[in-house]
């Protein structure tokens, strides 16, 4: 039976398959005495915790030497949790190898592109391709499955932890060997590889597979296709490692779903989760907010994309923070209400679990200044009171939301990992390009208009979407272009932007000018890229301001409408934003530059009006409130999230409040607050 995209939710605390909203945290009891464990479970019950992620960094305490094991403390913790009605998402404990292993086998340590070893002393110091590491880690995973596979507290397996967080790019000899194997599989022959990598350039021709290396520090720009392939390989190598652990777990405990925590957030690009999402029994994600003007939008965007990866089905928020983290330059705490608002925004986008890093704030170690559910100040603290109130909301007010799926929007925004990788490289027309940021900017513009958009991976089906935004789709193989063309010819409205359709899957430039295989569909052809210096800008004749990039483009189809032209610089008078209508009622729009938030919102408004896409929110709530909808069998759940620091009146919105409002009083959405309304389906 194929498990692709199955959603096997862990069993509930009562042992049944009943849907519930899970609530909990990473639990690291090895940092504490037994007296503290007793207090932990008491407070967990008080806070409504029903799941913990356990054993994540416990390897050194479980396997104390090559052939010595100590499960007694973990047995005790598992029993204690079970006796208190708390379920366990149990880690295979392989995330951070113990000192005895790295001392005996320093050949498992990763190597940077400059040839430096990443020594033990932090965590995740292992090569994804090391056969020695794999042998030891798989032995541990097997021992864990044998020991706890039938423990009544166990509801899910948590493979390793945040695979690739620190060790995604390893340039060691093991990596070189595995990279060659991966390339042989991809290309079959050296001729094919030489063609794909364009090795006629700079005398890079290979005559033997053994000559090929990872893109280590070189005299100048490394071969771009080699760099792109190394990113593909690095993502695949870790995925392959995940599969190896997963297969052991499935063999020994076929009844227990297997997951691993993704890191779908703006600054993490290494793992192609569009591919990984097919391999887990349910999608889990970790998310940490970044301060700044798009803080909340980025949270929403990442949660939305996680839902896209889960194909709209419920997913697990495995980690986020109750308040400050410890790894940003300045670690700002969350203001009152933000703990709950941030958590519920993930639920709004389909999370059926709200978990934090971590349960109890550490007294020692690198993360002792990272917030937790139980802070240093103890249970008599605002954080713990907010934690307990959220536990009540999830367990009581929102219980019926569990298991419901995200209602599809009419608009999709596409994220493409390969384009992301291709534009973050060197030797481009301009540095500082950011595929993810461009997509996020469109998302923010839509939120400002009160329009819901789904963020989806580029392999997601597009049927049912009226509008698709595909920003900076730099890597455009013919089959993806065909897919988009069919979408437009079937009546869909496509919007794409600068630096799209530039190269194929080998990073070879499409001849004839970008957007390559979309030229005809868009009715335009870019003759020359004209990136702008940092700080420089151009005027458009609709009053907008263009930064970052411009294109010297020609209209090649007389039916194309020019929506805006450049009004300054040497491109003055030439088209900047164009639209071509397709025969079946669809259209294809090209935006050749980067617009600031206000101008992008104004453009999005015009486009959406033309496409007939409207906000579901009353006019006065748009921009100030994000609406996200989960759909149950007989009702929809409207999550209204306050995007501002002021309260917002919800007068005029129908629906029965489940949380965030008194059931009878004034419908006012508090600053930094969330309201959930139950709206009968079809109303
Ligand atoms: C995650 C990690 C946790 C903890 C957390 C801190 O990357 O999985 O173990 O380090 O970050 O924010």
Give the closest residue (by CA) to ligand 1 atom 3. Answer: 357
pLDDT at 652: 80
Flag whether pLDDT at 630 surpasses 90: yes
- Percent of the chain at pLDDT exceeding 70: 96
pLDDT tens digit sequence for 425-481 = 999 999 999 999 999 999 999 999 999 999 999 999 999 999 999 999 999 999 999
pLDDT at 9: 61
Pseudo-torsion of CA 437, 291, 328, 113, nearest 10°?
0
Work out the average pLDDT over 406-435: 96
pLDDT at 215: 98
Task: For 409-492, list the strands marked E by DSSP.
Answer: 411-415, 453-457, 467-470
Does the Cβ of 288 fall within 6 Å of ligand 1?
yes
- Token pair, residue 187, equals 């290309």
Band of the pLDDT at 16, cuts 50, 70, 90? low
pLDDT at 266: 84
Work out the average pLDDT over 306-310: 97
What's the gap between Cα 592 and its chain centre? Answer: 27
Give the closest residue (by CA) to ligand 1 atom 5. Answer: 357
Contact between residue 209 and residue 181 where contact means Cβ atoms under 8 Å apart? no
Would you report the helix, strand and coil content of the chain in percent, each value rounded to 5? 35, 20, 45
The strand pairing partners of 493, in sequence order, are 467, 587
CB within 8 A of 618, min separation 6: which ones? 652, 653
Distance 198 CA to ligand 1 centre (A): 40
Pseudo-torsion of CA 175, 180, 185, 186, nearest 10°?
90
Flag whether pLDDT at 596 surpasses 50: yes
Distance 319 CA to ligand 1 centre (A): 8
pLDDT at 3: 39
Q: CA 86, CA 154: separation in Å to the nearest integer?
A: 9
Does the Cβ of 161 fall within 6 Å of ligand 1?
yes
Work out the average pLDDT over 312-323: 96
Work out the average pLDDT over 529-548: 98
Band of the pLDDT at 19, cuts 50, 70, 90? confident
Task: For 85-240, list the strands marked E by DSSP.
Answer: 87-91, 154-158
Among 58, 167, 270, 319, name the best residue to mutate to test ligand 1's pocket (greatest count of ligand atoms within 8 A of Cβ): 319
pLDDT at 293: 93
Angular region, 569: left φ>0, alpha ψ -120 to 50, beta rest: left
Does the Cβ of 325 fall within 6 Å of ligand 1?
yes
Distance 26 CA to ligand 1 centre (A): 9
Q: CA 448, CA 456: separation in Å to the nearest integer?
A: 20
Q: How many CB atoms lie within 10 A of CB 221?
A: 13
Does the Cβ of 357 fall within 6 Å of ligand 1?
yes
Angular region, 233: left φ>0, alpha ψ -120 to 50, beta rest: alpha
Work out the average pLDDT over 477-489: 96
Work out the average pLDDT over 8-12: 61
pLDDT at 651: 84
Distance 357 CA to ligand 1 centre (A): 6
Give the closest residue (by CA) to ligand 1 atom 9. Answer: 357
Distance 318 CA to ligand 1 centre (A): 10
Work out the average pLDDT over 404-411: 94
Flag whether pLDDT at 192 surpasses 80: yes
Q: CA 296, CA 588: separation in Å to the nearest integer?
A: 30
Band of the pLDDT at 662, cuts 50, 70, 90? low
Average pLDDT over the chain, rounded to whole?
A: 95
CB within 8 A of 633, min separation 6: which ones? 681
Task: For 458-612, list the strands marked E by DSSP.
Answer: 467-470, 493-497, 524-529, 537-539, 545-547, 551-555, 561-565, 575-581, 587-591, 594-595
Residues labelled as active-site residues: 162, 319
- Token pair, residue 255, equals 């009844």
Flag whether pLDDT at 258 surpasses 70: yes
pLDDT tens digit sequence for 261-299 = 999 998 899 999 999 999 999 999 999 999 999 999 999
Work out the average pLDDT over 131-148: 98
pLDDT tens digit sequence for 46-89 = 999 999 999 999 999 999 999 999 999 999 999 999 999 999 99
Contact between residue 239 and residue 131 where contact means Cβ atoms under 8 Å apart? no
Pairing of the two strands 51-54 and 22-27: parallel
Q: Which atom of ligand 1 is nearest to the CA of 327?
A: 12
Q: How many CB atoms lie within 10 A of CB 133?
A: 24
Does the Cβ of 319 fall within 6 Å of ligand 1?
yes
Does the Cβ of 89 fall within 6 Å of ligand 1?
no
Query: Over 493-523, what HEC string results?
Result: EEEEECCCCCECCCCCECCCCCCHHHHHHHC
Flag whether pLDDT at 581 surpasses 80: yes
Among 158, 167, 357, name the best residue to mutate to test ligand 1's pocket (greatest count of ligand atoms within 8 A of Cβ): 357
Distance 285 CA to ligand 1 centre (A): 12
pLDDT at 15: 61
Distance 33 CA to ligand 1 centre (A): 22
Contact between residue 572 and residue 546 where contact means Cβ atoms under 8 Å apart? no
The beta-carbon contacts of 374-378 under 8 Å, at least 24 apart in sequence, are 374/40, 374/43, 375/322, 375/323
pTM for this entry = 0.97
Flag whether pLDDT at 133 surpasses 50: yes
Contact between residue 242 and residue 160 where contact means Cβ atoms under 8 Å apart? yes
Pairing of the two strands 68-69 and 63-65: antiparallel
Kindly report which listed range (189-193, 198-202, 343-347, 660-664) carries the lowest average pLDDT score. 660-664
pLDDT at 682: 74
Distance 235 CA to ligand 1 centre (A): 20
Work out the average pLDDT over 153-170: 97
Among 89, 286, 333, 359, name the best residue to mutate to test ligand 1's pocket (greatest count of ligand atoms within 8 A of Cβ): 286
Give the closest residue (by CA) to ligand 1 atom 12. Answer: 325
Does the Cβ of 94 fall within 6 Å of ligand 1?
no
pLDDT tens digit sequence for 565-577 = 999 999 999 999 9
Give the closest residue (by CA) to ligand 1 atom 11. Answer: 357
Flag whether pLDDT at 593 surpasses 90: yes
What's the gap between Cα 281 and its chain centre? Answer: 17
- Percent of the chain at pLDDT exceeding 90: 94
Q: Name the DSSP letter for residue 395.
A: I
What's the gap between Cα 681 and its chain centre? Answer: 30
Q: CA 321, CA 356: separation in Å to the nearest integer?
A: 5
Closest CA to 591 of 514, 659, 487, 497: 497
pLDDT tens digit sequence for 379-389 = 999 999 999 99
Does the Cβ of 57 fall within 6 Å of ligand 1?
no
Q: CA 507, CA 350: separation in Å to the nearest integer?
A: 35
pLDDT at 7: 43
Interior/surface letters 498-518, b for 16+ CB within 10 angstroms, e for the rest:
bbbbbbbbbbeebeebbbbbb
pLDDT at 663: 52
């Amino acid at each position: 039976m194929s498990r692709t995209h199955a959603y096997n939710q862990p069993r509930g605390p009562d042992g049944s398959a009943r849907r519930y909203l899970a609530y909990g945290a990473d639990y690291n009891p090895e940092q504490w005495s037994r007296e503290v464990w007793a207090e932990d479970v008491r407070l967990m019950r008080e806070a409504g915790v029903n799941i913990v992620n356990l054993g994540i960094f416990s390897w050194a305490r479980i396997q104390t030497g090559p052939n010595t094991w100590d499960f007694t403390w973990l047995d005790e913790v598992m029993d204690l949790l079970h006796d208190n009605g708390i379920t366990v998402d149990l880690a295979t404990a392989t995330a951070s190898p113990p000192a005895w292993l790295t001392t005996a086998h320093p050949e498992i340590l990763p190597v940077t592109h400059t040839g430096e070893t990443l020594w033990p002393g932090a965590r995740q110091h292992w090569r994804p391709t090391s056969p020695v590491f794999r042998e030891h880690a798989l032995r541990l995973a097997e021992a864990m499955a044998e020991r706890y596979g039938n423990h009544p507290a166990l509801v899910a397996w948590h493979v390793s932890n945040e695979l690739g967080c620190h060790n995604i790019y390893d340039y060691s000899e093991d990596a070189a060997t595995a990279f060659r194997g991966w390339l042989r599989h991809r290309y079959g022959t050296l001729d094919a590889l030489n063609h794909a990598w364009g090795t006629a350039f700079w005398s890079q021709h290979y005559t033997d597979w053994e000559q090929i290396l990872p893109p280590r520090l070189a005299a100048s720009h490394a071969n771009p296709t080699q760099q792109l392939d190394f990113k593909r390989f690095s993502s695949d190598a870790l995925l392959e490692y995940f599969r190896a652990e997963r297969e052991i777990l499935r063999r020994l405990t076929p009844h227990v779903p297997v997951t691993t925590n993704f890191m779908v957030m703006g600054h993490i690009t290494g793992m192609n989760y569009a591919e990984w999402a097919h391999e887990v029994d349910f999608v889990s994600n970790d998310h940490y907010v970044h301060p700044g003007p798009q803080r909340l939008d980025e949270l929403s965007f990442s949660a939305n994309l996680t839902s896209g990866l889960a194909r709209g089905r419920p997913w697990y928020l495995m980690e986020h923070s109750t308040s400050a983290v410890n790894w940003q330059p300045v670690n700002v705490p969350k203001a009152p209400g933000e703990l709950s608002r941030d958590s519920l925004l993930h639920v709004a986008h389909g999370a059926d679990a709200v978990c934090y890093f971590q349960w109890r704030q550490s007294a020692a170690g690198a993360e002792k200044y990272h917030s937790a559910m139980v802070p240093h100040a103890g249970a008599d603290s605002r954080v713990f009171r907010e934690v307990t109130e959220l536990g009540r909301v999830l367990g009581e007010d929102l219980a019926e939301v569990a298991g419901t799926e995200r209602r599809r929007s009419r608009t999709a925004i596409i994220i493409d990992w390969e384009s992301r990788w291709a534009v973050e490289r060197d030797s481009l027309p301009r540095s500082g390009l950011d595929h993810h940021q461009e997509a996020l900017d469109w998302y923010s513009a839509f939120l400002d208009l009160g329009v819901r958009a789904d963020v989806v991976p580029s392999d997601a089906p597009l049927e049912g979407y009226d509008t698709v935004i595909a920003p900076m789709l730099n890597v455009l193989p013919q089959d993806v272009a065909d897919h988009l063309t069919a979408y437009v010819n079937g009546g869909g409205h496509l919007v794409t932007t600068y630096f799209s359709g530039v190269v194929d899957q080998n990073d070879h430039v499409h001849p004839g000018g970008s957007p390559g295989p979309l030229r005809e569909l868009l009715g335009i052809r870019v003759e020359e890229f004209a990136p702008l210096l940092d700080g420089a800008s151009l005027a458009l004749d609709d009053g907008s301001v263009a930064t970052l990039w411009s294109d010297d483009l020609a209209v090649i189809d007389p039916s194309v409408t020019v929506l805006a032209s450049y009004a300054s610089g040497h491109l003055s008078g030439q088209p900047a934003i164009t639209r071509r209508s397709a025969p079946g009622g669809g259209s294809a729009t090209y935006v050749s530059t980067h617009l600031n938030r206000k101008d992008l919102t104004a453009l999005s408004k015009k486009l959406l009006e033309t496409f007939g896409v409207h906000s579901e929110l009353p006019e006065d709530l748009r921009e100030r409130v994000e609406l996200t909808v989960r759909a149950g069998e007989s009702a929809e759940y409207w999550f209204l999230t306050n995007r501002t620091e002021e309260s917002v009146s919800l007068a005029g919105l129908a629906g029965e409040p489940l949380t965030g409002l008194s059931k009878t009083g004034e419908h006012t959405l508090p600053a930094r607050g969330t309201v959930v309304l139950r709206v009968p389906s079809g109303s």
